[in-house]
Chains A and B, each alone.
Chain A
Amino acid sequence: MMIWVNQIVQGILLGGYYAVIACGLSFMFSVMRIINLAHGSLAIVAAFGLYVLADQFGFDPFGALIVVLPAMAVIGWVLQRTILERSQRGGMLVPILSTFGLSIVIDNLLFEHFGADTRSLAPYIDELSWDSWQLTDDIAIGKLAAITFVTAVVILGGLQLFLTRTQLGRAIRATAEDPDTVGLIGINARRVNAAAAAIAMLTVGIAGAFLGMRATFDPYAGGPQLIFAFEAAVIGGAGSLWGTLIGGIVLGVAQSIGAQINPQGFLITGHVVFLVVLLARLHVDQIGTRFRKTVRRSA
């Protein structure tokens, strides 16, 4: 019995990590209507940035974020101005293609520079990578996992506050709703979107840090991260910030329980839950209509 409770607890914590990697994707989709398929690859870029700073310059990975996060924000700004903005003029599908192309370019540039070795930031954070709090005999909570979960809540809450309480946040929401009209009240829509992309990339930088600390990565590790982020965002309802946390938790719990049922079940259970939620979303209206019709006929 306790083993299942443990799996659920670990799944919830894992969900925090998925929420961290998904929130940038979800934020970009909700405010800019862009599905960024280079999301995972950009997280790997951040992870490699932290790795180089830690390995060659002796930075603590958390301290190195002071360098990497502004760099990610600049990448976001430039990305919006050079690629996303242009491709978005071609319609909703073009950014998907261009960011897909971008992810291939990033992956291969990383491969060329760093080779195929897997890396991890775990050696640079000492006991934090394995230390835990023992709650009962059967349940222990990893310190890093707990920090990740708290970070997810802080990031999502912070974004929510930012969007509702600050002038830039309100401008981002208004631009998402009607990019043509914001100009008429003095808002530069291009600059607002570039700022939103920079903010999204900040969260991607944080995601890269936790990815590097909790596991290993290599130049091609971005794809799977993109899939987890995508699944968490879709399960939670694309574009909803708190939904992203719930989506991450659902995915994490499903994977943990799947792994307990069968050692091979980790990934497959996560994908199955994602597909079930997706299909349910598509059919829930239909089923609802049919149900109502049946009720009416039998009445």
Chain B
Amino acid sequence: MSLLEIRNLDVRHGLLQAVRDLSLSVEKGETVALVGANGAGKTTLLRTVAGAHMPAGGSVVFNGIDITTVPAYRRVGLGIALVPEGRRLFGQMSVEENLVLARSAGRRGDWTVEHVLDAFPNLKPRRHAKAGNLSGGEQQATAIGRALMTNPDVLILDEVSLGLSPLAVDRVYASLQSLIGGGTTIILVEQDLRRAMRVADRIVCMLEGRIVLEGKRGEISREQVSEAYFGLGSDKGRVHA
């Protein structure tokens, strides 16, 4: 049984259909990278899995439980954590307060404030600083740390490198690498194809709300992904891993 199973999902923003009849399953311990152009529906898909959007059709099954209608705050308790696009920290509160807040999910585990600060050493001196006054990289680290504080079974990262300097991105990914090594299930959206293909076990390419290409690392080439990304290689169809 897959950890996360998305079946025939339809999601709408009013009249706009952002995700169309999409099915995807993620195994425990897997790292899946979602790629695709702006407006392909990646963020909508992730927000629907996290419960921030309600789907118009289809279902989401997590750990064998149908969570399609479960509100976001309870999904966190079940083990789904989303690091939202734009980080969405509580800017008036300190780094530590942002982290401690995520204990509200009531999931006990390895992740504590100390553990997060060890994983993101750049946050240590900023522990009591207001989250709104941090640099972009520090904010992103706090946002990831906040999600980790819920001790999730699956960590969903939406555009972690957006608006960060290349150096900060490297640092964030260095920290992620230890999570991936530790067997955490991760779904991430990454614009940088090379980086996505380096960290992920599987690449899923979306176009106009659908999955147009899907394959394990090493089994699909950058060219294939690039073509699917722009909707050029439609005749090739899906590569099944």
Contacts and interface: CB of A to CB of B under 8 A. Distances in A.
Interaction A to B: yes
Interface of A: 167, 170-171, 173-174, 177-178, 180-189
Contact of A183 (B72, B93, B103, B106): B72
Interface of B: 50-52, 71-74, 76-77, 81-82, 84, 88, 90-93, 97, 100-107, 146-147, 149-150
B71 A186 contact: no
A170 B73 contact: no
Nearest to A177: B90
Contacts of A189: 73
B90 A186 contact: no
Contacts, number: 72
B92 to A, nearest CB: 6
A183 B76 CA distance: 8
A195 to B, nearest CB: 12
Contact of B146 (A171, A177, A183, A185): A185
B206 to A, nearest CB: 21
A177 B51 CA distance: 20
Does more than half of chain A's interface fall in helix, strand or loop, or is it mixed?
helix
Contact of A186 (B52, B76, B92, B93): B76
Contacts of B93: 170, 173-174, 177
B146 A167 contact: no
A37 B131 CA distance: 34
B147 to A, nearest CB: 7
Given A174-B93, A177-B93, A178-B90, A185 B50 contact: no
B77 to A, nearest CB: 6
A173 B88 contact: no
B92 A185 contact: no
Nearest to A174: B90
15 contacts: A170-B97, A171-B101, A171-B104, A174-B90, A174-B101, A177-B91, A181-B84, A182-B101, A183-B71, A183-B73, A183-B76, A185-B150, A186-B73, A186-B104, A186-B107
A188 B73 contact: yes
Nearest to A175: B90
Nearest to B103: A167
Given A173-B93, A177-B91, A187 B50 contact: no
B54 to A, nearest CB: 12
Nearest to A185: B102
Contacts of A167: 100-101, 103-104
